[in-house]
Chains A and B, each alone.
Chain A
Amino acid sequence: MSGKLFVQGMGVTTVEWPRLAGLMAAVAPRHAWRARAEEMEAMDEEKVAGMEVVAALGVRAVHEALAMAGEGETSNENQLAPPTESGGFTGGFGGALGEKTGMVFVSGWGMVDATVGYLESMLAEGGKYASPRHFSRSVYSSGPSVMAIALGIRGPCETLVFDDEPVMRALARAEAMLEMERAERVVVCWADQAGEIVSDLARRAAEKLGKREYRRYVEEGVGQGATAMVVARERGKWGLEWGMDESFNLNTIKVKPFPMDAAVRAAAGWLARTAGE
């Protein structure tokens, strides 16, 4: 592919690093100002709290990434921010800009709470009261759909899974979207949630099915979080070039494991590398 891939903004939220600013302060203290948390208008917490966990994690990370990318001035249709008379910065995209924005969403375990909630409702009372709300929220793509609605993203929104290298492969798909001019910028988001059932099933997968990749959850417990990157062919306000190589991973960053935790380490590595720290 021709051209460079710039990360215009980034967002991270995990148990250990609830906001990007904290992660930046840890890996690139002199550049922590780039997180621009102080310039973000408050999200409508009531709306976010009503979302499925994975969607809420994703929205927080994407909101942060958009703020870092400096998309505020052109936003006007966001449904996430509390309504204001002036319609100021919301962190989302307006009509035309939203049509030029795509999304790639990746999750290892999907919408765990909604799936369990739906299965419970389906199995109780002979299925008489299966929950339509839980059903529609249980599909993997409901997370990015909620994010697209909240942020006004109207370009191609793809929900993908990979059997290996989810960070590089998702960025490669985003790059292909840019190269094919399907979008002018792509929001890439990796998100997963923790939960009692996830921990229990991970233990069984490791112990009874002999799946080695699940051992880390038994040893360290299951974490949750989301990472978001706004990528484009242009540098943008703060854009820094993405390097598609393994040296961008900062493996020393402590994160309780979840399927998409590699994205947090990649984000940390990118921050440290581009800051030269």
Chain B
Amino acid sequence: MVRRSKAVAVTGMGMVTAQGVGVDATWAGLCARREVLRTWSGAPAGHVLAGLKVGECPEVARPRDLPERLWRELAGTQKFAAVCVDEALGQAGLPRVMPEGMGRVGLFMATTVCGMDRSEKFYAQYREDREGADVGLMRRLMPYEVLPLLARRHGLEGPRQVCLSTCVGSAMAIGAACDAIELGECEMALAGGAEALCRVVLSGFHALKVAAAEGCRPFDKNRPGMTVGEGAAVLVLESVEHAKRRGAKVLGYVRGFAATCDAHHLTAPDPEGKQATRAIAEALGRAGVRPEEIDYVNAHGTGTRDNDAMETRALRAAFTGGKGVPAVSSTKRLTGHTFGAAGAIEAGFCLQAMRTGVVPVNAGSVEADPALELPVVREAMNKEMRHTLSCNFAFGGNNTALVMSREWEEGR
């Protein structure tokens, strides 16, 4: 028996992805199955990375309250985060700066890349000319620096942290924020993640030989690997009582979160997916939602051979009996894999799916893999959804599962 979690209300969302700036632009692209992958603009001609397709975001506009000089100093992740917070607060009906009486508002962010887009430039100069390297590039490269930036800008006085657990980072950030709300450390929190494309990440996955040149094809028989992407998402989370008290419109509820670790290998998942299954089962148990009640699963679905095979095993083990595995799709062909931001972006997709009744399609897959017996969503589908599951898996065998519901009744 696992402890039942209290439902936490989601009252705002902000998103930047390769599909566009904002939740609406992203969701419209997803529903239209819009192919947006393109060759990375940052690769020099003739470089090994030239020609590699990525999920690159449109440029984001500087928020008017941030001075131009500060904006120039910010890393890509920090810019994306700032833009997402603005959209999320706006949707939640909250002012840009928390007013007195709002109580302690927490900040739980995630990233993997941090300020690497700037530090790789600095290091390239530094190795040639130590004293001549532009130290200004170092100004905001530490991963924690997004915290004071956002906390000061929005008057956030609650607990704050950045999770660096790679591809499960923002799912963990949402989980930690929900814990903080349930335990009374704060009544409201901003939670999410942000990543920006840089040569370090592209080159790294290219070196690991898992980057697909033409784009990922999750759960396909001939899946060639993953697609690197960038993006960000931030959710406004609050206790149900707090949301009610201020008359906020609730977009959905986080019902249960769980995390486990394979303790198996630094980069490869445990092929059996035992701990991934345990994370899914625990999240369902915490949510008080039965497996057969889940209407849609947003899979991690990176499109690598190892991940998709492991994830299939884990889902099949977690959804034994009843109706079996519900409709599953990976949205990574349409956004790229956004690493530390993926958990929050895909949690947002689950909320949008429940709100609009549209099941996101598993784009990219041409031929089903007979070895992966999953009900993968191959064509656009409309369906009423009450409960969804979002899975994420990461380097080091970290696994997360997040159960979200459209509605929630007290006592259920």
Q: Which A residues are closer than 8 A to B by beta carbons?
A: 1, 98-99, 103, 108, 110, 116, 118-120, 122-123, 126-128, 130-132, 135-142, 144-146, 148-149, 151-163, 169, 172-173, 176-177, 179-182, 200-201, 204-205, 208-209
**B368-403 vs A, Cβ < 8 Å mask (1 yes, 0 no):** 000000000000000000000000001111100000
Can you list 5 A-B contacts with CB-CB less than 8 angstroms, sorted by A residue number?
Answer: A110-B143, A126-B47, A135-B203, A158-B172, A159-B163
User: Given the complex of chains A and B, what is the CA–CA distance between A80 and B245 in angstroms?
Assistant: 53
Q: Which residues of B contact A118 (CB under 8 A)?
A: 200, 204
A247 to chain B, nearest CB (A): 22
Measured in the bound complex, the distance between the Cα atoms of B267 and A126 in whole Å is 25
A161 contacts B398, CB within 8 Å? no
Task: Name the contact of B203 in the complex, choosing from A98, A130, A162 (C-beta under 8 A).
Answer: A130
Least CB distance from B266 to A in Å reads: 5
Q: Contact between A123 and B164 (Cβ–Cβ < 8 Å)?
A: no
Partner of B48, one of A127, A201, A208: A127
**Cβ–Cβ contact A135 & B183, under 8 A:** no
Among B112, B163, B182, the one with the most A-chain Cβ atoms within 10 Å of its Cβ is: B163
- Residue contact B166 to A131, C-beta cutoff 8 Å: no
- Chain B residues near A173: list those with CB within 8 A: 161, 176
Within the complex, what minimum Cβ distance (angstroms) separates B81 from chain A? 14
Pair A156/B259 contact, Cβ less than 8 Å: yes
Instruction: Known A-B contacts: A119-B127, A180-B5. Give 5 more (CB < 8 A).
Output: A116-B123, A126-B46, A149-B266, A160-B163, A180-B3
**Range, interface on chain B:** 35 or more
Contact between chains at A136 and B138 (CB < 8 Å): no
- For A153, A160, A173, the residue with the greatest tally of chain B CB atoms inside 10 Å of its CB is A160
Give the complex CA separation of A116 and B295 in angstroms: 46
User: Do the beta carbons of B161 and A122 come within 8 Å of each other?
Assistant: no
Once the chains are docked, how many angstroms separate the CA of A107 from the CA of B144?
11
| Residue among B120, B127, B179, B204 with max Cβ neighbours from chain A (10 Å) | B204
A139: which of B49, B136, B164 is its contact (CB, 8 Å)?
B164
Considering the complex, give the chain A residue whose CB is closest to the CB of B112.
Answer: A139
Q: Is the CB of B172 within 8 A of A163?
A: no
Distance, CA A137 to CA B396, complexed state (A): 10
Q: Are A148 and B263 in contact (CB under 8 A)?
A: yes
How far is A98 from B274 in the complex, measured between Cα atoms in Å? 13
Distance (whole angstroms) from the CB of A243 to the closest CB of chain B: 19
